[in-house]
Amino acid sequence: MKKVVLITGTSSGLGLETAVLLAQHDFKVYASMRNLAKQQKLLDAATAAGVEVQVVQLDVTDSDSINTCVNQIIEKEGRIDVLVNNAGAGFAKTTEQISESEMHWVMDVNFFGTVRCVKAVLPQMREQGRGRIINVSSVGGLVGQPFNELYCAAKFAVEGYTESMATYLTDAFGIHFTVVEPGGIVSEFMNSAMAKTITDGVMTLPPYQPILDKYLAGMRERAAAGQDQTYQTSAEVAQILLDVASAASPPVRLRTSAWAENFTRFKTSGDPDGTLQVEALKASFLS
């Protein structure tokens, strides 16, 4: 029997690649996106791969939209076995520039959207005594970076949320939690993040421009060079998500490249997959 998977943010990039790849590996894929007008790219990719995906509307910032989508899938399939929280949005802007509405938007899309989707699937997964929840974070969820403080803060929140859930829901209800931490991904996501940062080629506040110039120059050099493996393709990261979705005992956290491992080594070298920390937390609080 095929496992039923719900994936958020599938109109392009990593979400699209993951939807098609999981369908190729015998998952029943429900590929969600906020704007169904953008579904053709996914449908074309699925057709080219010789697979079928079910496109559904879901806006991670809207609880009613999430609950409607989840309930419809459960009504049709009887269950959701895997949730992949992929929807998110990049954001690079100094704290001096950010508006109150932007603060809320960054957290809403990148953190609260994940929580809303998990909350929606938990009752059914708990009742069936099994489930898998994969939250796509970033190396920015482990290591703060210039101009990315709000985005990193949101992803730090995803990391703590996932780790906390793993300390008690896996043993009690058979629901496995994994946070996947890519480095840079060459996709529309990166272009969107930078578009929100720059207006007419400069930042709003001139004193930050020399720092931004260094930041952007380094980003372009790494992207162009390729030899340091800073950036991965969406397809490469999608393969990691497939591995986690298919594993008998998935890790609590997982980087997606050698570069990401090296970049986060000061934070992760003592406990690369998060198992030791979770076991220590269980011993402290639940023994």
What tokens were used for 100?
């109150």
Q: Which position has the token pair 């060459």?
A: 186
Q: What is the DSSP letter of 202?
A: B
Let me know if 231 is a catalytic residue. no
Q: Which of 30, 151, 161, 231 is catalytic?
A: 151
* Structure tokens, 135: 């939250």
Residue 77: exposed, middle, or buried by beta-carbon count in 10 A (0-12, 13-18, 19+)? Answer: middle
Q: How far is CA 156 from CA 30, 50, 78, 84, 86, in A?
A: 27, 38, 33, 18, 15
- Please spell the DSSP secondary structure of 111-158, one letter per residue: IIHHHHHHHHHHHHHHHHT-EEEEEE--GGGTS--TT-HHHHHHHHHH
The residue among 32, 34, 99, 108 whose CA lies nearest residue 70 is 32
Q: Which residues are catalytic?
A: 151
